[in-house]
């Protein structure tokens, strides 16, 4: 059986994904303003727009993982709230997830360590997509000034 503190800790950890999401949102908006806005007003460069589109796409994928992590954070907090009802609540949760096609029926009644490992994986995936977005933004910052020298 998992402790209330473990559930609260994983919920708190997953809520830290909000800060990652805010940074990613800023990078996504930067990509939108820096690459696509000039295209709309007719002064853009297609070569500059392509990495910006990729920056936006990476941000959208990161947003998907952020939403999943936020959902799990809320669910873990609810499960931690009442230890006496935890087993009944987890059964209800599994049933609802299967009913809404958010979880395969084969994954019900998973042990707690597997659930916690899966929740940490969500945050890790969110962080990896943000890292990819940051890397692309850094490359753009380093490479774009060279375009002005080249032509």
What integer best gives the mean pLDDT of the chain?
A: 89
What domain range includes position 114? 4-150
Residue with tokens 């997509």: 129
Confidence of residue 102 (pLDDT cuts 50, 70, 90): confident
pLDDT-based confidence at residue 59 (cuts at 50, 70, 90)? very high
- Residue 87's pLDDT is what? 87
**Domains of the chain: total:** 1
Token readout for 114 is: 């597997």
Distance CA 137, CA 132 (A): 9
Q: Residue range 73-99: average pLDDT?
A: 91
**What distance in Å separates the CA atoms of residue 145 and residue 84, rounded to the nearest whole number?**
61
Higher-scoring residue by pLDDT: 84, 69: 69
Give which of 62, 57, 60 is closest to 20, Cα–Cα: 62
pTM of the predicted protein model: 0.86
Q: What is the pLDDT of residues 19-53, one digit of tens each?
A: 999 999 999 998 888 777 777 777 767 777 888 88
Per-residue confidence (pLDDT) for residue 78, from 0 to 100: 92
Q: Give CA angle at 107 (106, 109), nearest 5°.
A: 110
């Amino acid at each position: 059986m998992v402790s209330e503190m473990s559930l609260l800790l994983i919920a708190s950890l997953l809520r830290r994904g909000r800060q990652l999401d805010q940074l990613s949102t800023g990078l996504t908006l930067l990509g939108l303003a820096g690459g696509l806005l000039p295209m709309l007003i007719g002064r853009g460069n297609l070569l500059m727009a392509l990495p910006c589109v990729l920056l936006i796409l990476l941000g959208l994928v990161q947003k998907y993982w952020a939403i999943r992590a936020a959902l799990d954070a809320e669910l873990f907090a609810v499960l931690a709230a009442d230890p006496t009802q935890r087993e009944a609540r987890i059964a209800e949760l599994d049933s609802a997830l299967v009913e809404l096609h958010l979880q395969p029926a084969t994954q019900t009644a998973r042990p707690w360590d597997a659930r916690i490992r899966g929740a940490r994986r969500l945050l890790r995936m969110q962080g990896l997509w943000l890292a990819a977005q940051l890397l692309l933004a850094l490359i753009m910052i380093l490479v774009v000034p060279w375009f002005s020298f080249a032509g």
